[in-house]
């Protein structure tokens, strides 16, 4: 890693790209405007207000649908090299199916892309950040195998309209999160069937990912673009030096990261052996005739292997893993299948999200684990950030970013092939079931005003220095 500015110890290479990220449902609003169809998060927030903090919805959110120019102005102010945003599937295809294309939806994203390019900001597009068309959920959503075909059709429509200008694509944001919380748990669409629907979801997401990657390779590679997937990976640190805790931590990494990384990034492909073996064994003991983890065909294994030009990594925090009791209940559960106990160290600094404690060294370990386990793939950090109480002088966000970027820099010195960093998030947004109560923005949003006024925090000014010098600023005042 060569220094680009004398004097500062922590500088990133000249082509290292700095950006910020958002997601459609979390910022756009305009939930039923200009032909947009209903998504599972529209349905969920409207029919289950009690499940969302303060009964909030994303109906208006930060109103980014009506603020393209304003949001791009913030990006210019930040001096970011790229902007990662997601496309709302039901805004493009109101019924989820490609026979009916909403031209207004295409126009919105097309204009956003044009504004970004006019300001030398590279657009990075996520095709799916959790807002499934409700009509497809009515067919079972990600648990229905046919969704791999519909996702392929949707992706083709998007590539057809945007691949002349967009060169960096992600199929999915965090399949672990939405399969586990949405199908295994009580987030939208609330499948609430852990150890069963989460595996069906993961299976079809992986099949859909491979289909889209291969289609892009065949029909759109000539555009010069690349396709990846975004996986979340909280570092899993053994709770002690005991051999059984070391082993438990590795099982947790395989279940929580290998589940999606191994089929795509390992030389052998397919699910991690420990996952196949444990779920098969426990399923049999629960009297199921076969494993609750679905099986890929040989063709699917081959198609998935190597189906990503880079790894998009979302990393926020670290967890401690201890060996479990080994007890097996009749009721299927992802956690029993994994069979470990996951906690966090109460000494690690807290934030405004219960799951998020500040542990920068875990980032370096996670990146090195990826390097060693998957033959050092190119990594783009697609999310990293922290939630804090609402304040302008957000010193702790600056410290969080500086700490994690130092750890990332160390990982690059260790040999990790990291190409860029993306802060979550540009602006305060709808934090799913936490409503607007968890604030990750470099910019504040005044949710009490109709104009949703944005104002920069200290962290925005800090980030603007970083993007311009590619070196960590020594001071933030």
- Give me the least distance between CB of 268 and ligand PNW, in Å please: 25
Query: Residue 177 is encoded by which pair of tokens?
Result: 């999160």
Which of the residues 61 through 120 are near ligand PNW (CB under 6 A)? none
Q: How far is the CB of 314 from ligand PNW (least distance, A)?
A: 6
* Minimum distance, C-beta of residue 88 to ligand PNW, in the bound complex (Å): 13
Bridge partners, residue 418, by sequence: 379
Question: Could you tell me the CA-to-CA distances from 380 to 158, 418, 456 in Å, in that order?
Answer: 22, 6, 25
**Closer residue to ligand PNW (CB): 102 or 384:** 384
Instruction: Give the nearest distance from C-beta 156 to ligand PNW in angstroms.
Output: 25
3-state helix, strand, coil in the chain (%, to 5): 45, 15, 40
Q: How many of the chain's residues bind ligand PNW (CB under 6 A)?
A: 14
Q: Which of 28, 174, 181, 431 is catalytic?
A: 174
Residue 174 falls in the annotated catalytic set = yes
Q: What angle, 0 to 180 degrees and rounded to 10, lies between the N-to-C axes of helices 458-469 and 395-413?
A: 30
CA 373/CA 376 separation, integer angstroms: 8
Q: Which of 220, 235, 316, 476 binds ligand PNW (CB under 6 A)?
A: 316
Of 12-20, 93-101, 170-178, 261-269, the segment contacting ligand PNW by CB under 6 A is 170-178
CA–CA separation, 30 vs 25, rounded Å? 9
Decide: 305 and 264 in contact? Cβ < 8 Å. yes
Q: How far apart are CA 396 and CA 457, in angstroms?
A: 11
Distance CA 355, CA 180 (A): 15
Which one among 234, 342, 370, 386 touches ligand PNW, defined by CB under 6 A?
Answer: 234
- The answer to whether 383 is a known catalytic residue is yes
Give me the residue whose beta carbon is nearest to ligand PNW.
234
Q: Verify binding: residue 383, ligand PNW, rule CB under 6 A.
A: yes
Opening angle at CA 148, ends 128 and 160, nearest 5: 60
Binding span for ligand PNW by CB under 6 A among 188-196, 262-270, 280-288, 311-319: 311-319
**447 binds ligand PNW, rule: CB under 6 A:** no
The residue within the footprint of ligand PNW, chosen from 211, 317, 336, 373 (CB under 6 A), is 317
Q: Which two tokens stand for residue 259?
A: 């589940």
| Piece of 169-177, 261-269, 270-278, 466-474 that binds ligand PNW (CB under 6 A) | 169-177
302 class by beta-carbon count within 10 Å (0-12 exposed, 13-18 middle, 19+ buried): middle
Residue of 41, 151, 404, 424 that binds ligand PNW (CB under 6 A): 424
Could you give the CA distance from residue 242 to residue 253 in angstroms, rounded to a whole number? 17
- For helices 243-253 and 273-285, the axis angle rounded to 10 degrees is 100
Under rule CB under 6 A, residue 232 binds ligand PNW: yes
Instruction: Please identify every residue annotated as catalytic.
Output: 174, 383
Interacting residues with ligand PNW (CB under 6 A):
23, 173-174, 177, 232, 234, 314, 316-317, 355, 383, 424, 431, 440
């Amino acid at each position: 890693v060569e220094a680009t500015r004398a004097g500062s110890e922590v500088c990133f290479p000249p082509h290292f790209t700095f950006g910020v990220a958002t997601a459609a449902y979390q910022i756009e609003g305009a939930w039923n405007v200009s032909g947009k169809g209903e998504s599972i998060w529209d349905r969920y927030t409207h029919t289950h207000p009690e499940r969302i903090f303060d009964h909030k919805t994303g109906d208006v959110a930060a109103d980014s649908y009506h603020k393209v120019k304003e949001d791009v102005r913030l990006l210019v102010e930040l001096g970011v090299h790229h902007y990662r945003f997601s496309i709302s599937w039901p805004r493009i295809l109101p019924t989820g199916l490609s026979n009916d294309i909403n031209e207004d939806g295409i126009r919105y994203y097309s204009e956003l892309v044009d504004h970004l390019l006019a300001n030398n900001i590279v657009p990075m597009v996520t095709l799916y950040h959790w807002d499934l068309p409700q009509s497809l959920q009515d067919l079972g959503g990600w648990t229905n195998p046919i969704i791999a075909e519909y996702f392929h059709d949707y992706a083709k429509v998007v590539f057809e309209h945007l691949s002349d200008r967009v060169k960096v694509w992600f199929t999915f944001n965090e399949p672990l999160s939405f399969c586990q919380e949405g199908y295994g748990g009580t987030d939208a669409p609330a499948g609430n069937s852990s150890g069963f629907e989460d595996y069906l979801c993961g299976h079809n997401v992986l099949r859909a990912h491979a289909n889209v990657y291969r289609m892009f390779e065949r029909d759109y590679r000539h555009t010069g673009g690349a396709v990846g997937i975004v996986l979340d990976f909280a570092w899993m640190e053994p709770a002690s030096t005991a051999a059984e805790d070391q082993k438990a931590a590795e099982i947790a990494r395989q279940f929580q990261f290998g589940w999606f990384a191994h089929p795509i990034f390992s030389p052998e492909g397919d699910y991690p052996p420990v996952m196949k073996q444990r779920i098969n064994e426990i399923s049999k003991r629960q009297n199921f005739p076969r494993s609750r983890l679905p099986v890929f065909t040989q063709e699917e294994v081959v198609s998935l292997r190597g189906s990503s030009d880079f790894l998009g990594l979302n990393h926020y925090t670290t967890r401690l893993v201890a060996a479990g009791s080994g007890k097996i209940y009749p009721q299927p559960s992802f956690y029993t299948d994994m069979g470990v106990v996951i906690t966090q160290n109460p000494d690690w600094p807290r934030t405004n999200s219960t799951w998020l404690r500040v542990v920068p060294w875990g980032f370096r370990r996670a990146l090195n684990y990826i390097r060693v386990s998957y033959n050092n793939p190119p990594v783009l950090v697609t999310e990293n950030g922290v939630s804090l109480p609402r304040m302008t002088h957000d010193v702790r966000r600056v410290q969080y970013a500086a700490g994690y970027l130092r750890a990332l820099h160390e990982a690059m010195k260790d040999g990790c092939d990291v190409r860029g960093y993306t802060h979550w998030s540009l602006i305060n947004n709808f934090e799913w079931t936490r409503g607007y109560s968890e604030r990750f923005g470099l910019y504040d949003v005044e949710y009490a005003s109709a104009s949703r006024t944005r104002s920069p925090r200290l962290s925005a000014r800090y980030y603007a220095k970083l993007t311009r010098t590619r070196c960590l600023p020594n001071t933030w005042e």
